[in-house]
Amino acid sequence: MRRRLILGALALVVVVVVAVVAVPLLTGAGPIPPATVDPARLDAGQRARLVERGRYIARAADCAACHVAEDGRAYAGGLPMETPVGTIYGTNITPSRDHGIGGWSADDLYRALVYGILPDGGRLYPAMPYTSYHAMTRADVDALSAYLASLPAVEKPNRPPDLAFPFNIRPAIAFWNLIFRPEPGDLPPPAGSAAPAGDHARGRYLVEVLGHCGECHTPRNLAYAMEDDRHLQGEVIEGALAPDITPAGLSARGWTAEDLTGFLSTGLSPQGTMTFRMYPVLHHSTRYLTAEDVGAIAAYLTDGAPPPTRPEPVTTGHTQNPGHDIYLGFCAGCHGADGEGHPAASPPLATNTTAMLQDPRNLVKVIRDGIPARPLAGTGRMQEMPAFGDLLDDGEMAALVNYLRRRWGGQPGDVTAERVAEVGPR
């Protein structure tokens, strides 16, 4: 009996040693490729070109959208990001030595972006998308490092994450990495693409790596890891649905490559305007991309898609719908009695994909909370969409949502007042 207890104790010690020592070692940073440039040996012109290329990488990677400060200062950190397990705040990535990344080398930045490992060995939470950035090229990281080092330092302290136990135990991320973190490497285009190999590879790199689209648009499991078998099929983020952007999903809502190109470049399309977390993507990222890169993204996302379809608007019987009078009273003044919209003022509803989504939450949120007036790309601007949450009760809201879904969305009018209430507070 005593021997069994001793053996059991030894086995427990081995398990603890493996858990405490081996797992962190196995999930630490792996090989780091040699730098592609030595900034110390560059002349002023070469350095300026490297910094400008890094600025483009920062925009393509949408760094500012998560690292902006509450007062709008780029890269100073503080933006709250709600997750199912608590709130994580974007960090300061300016060259501040006390609060930012002023002491980081390009190797340190590569280690953080690709492996999720800080210079001191600490683990980043996977809200920082190293599971997508794992395939960033060393050349892109070197350019990004030069650009971030060129920014003015902002002496703004970071705010620690507010996470529930046990998710607030940062070293436990080592176990998460052991299971879910991908290995670094390139993303060669899969066989069977209809697009030219170079264009497809560029589009895939922009979507899957730099743009990290899957981080919002891919369903996650209980461990907050992306479900690879449901890639880009849509997920709820901070109470709003980031919809299905697979080729089939886009096609079913009428999207074409041309529509996507315009949407990513200007924030406008026949299917609607940029809202929720997609607006910062336009504001900080996609409007700055070259026409070639935006085209590559659109081509990749629609590669192999069936011919686009969209529901036919209901042209008869809709006036008997309980939401018809509510629509005429609150919506038709801007969107038109037949959902035609007004150019440069309000988007059409007859082709708007928000009503086509099976999940009604985005439609409820837009009507209830409204959308502030916002600048779009160039001289474009989206006028304010008023909030009607204080004017319509849940039953009236449900009637209006059902009217929009049935008349233009091809969806059943089965949204109840209880479902509207479930969407949650503003």
> Parallel, antiparallel, or unpaired for β 268-269 and 240-242?
unpaired
Find out whether 134 is annotated in a ligand binding site. no
Find out whether 200 is annotated in a ligand binding site. no
Contact 77/92 with Cβ under 8 angstroms? yes
Find out whether 231 is annotated in a ligand binding site. no
**Residue holding tokens 């730098």?**
35
Q: What separation in angstroms does the CA of 274 have from each of 4, 184, 238, 310?
A: 65, 32, 16, 19
Find out whether 217 is annotated in a ligand binding site. yes
Residue 293, judged by CB atoms within 10 A of its CB (0-12, 13-18, 19+), counts as buried
Find out whether 212 is annotated in a ligand binding site. no
Rounded CA-CA distance 136/210 in Å is 7
Total residue count of the chain as it appears in this document:
426
Find out whether 67 is annotated in a ligand binding site. yes
Find out whether 213 is annotated in a ligand binding site. yes
Find out whether 324 is annotated in a ligand binding site. no
Distance, C-alpha 371 to centroid of its chain? 19
Find out whether 284 is annotated in a ligand binding site. no
Rounded CA-CA distance 101/58 in Å is 15
Residue list, annotated binding site for heme c:
63, 66-67, 213, 216-217, 331, 334-335
Q: Binding site: residue ranges?
A: 63, 66-67, 213, 216-217, 331, 334-335
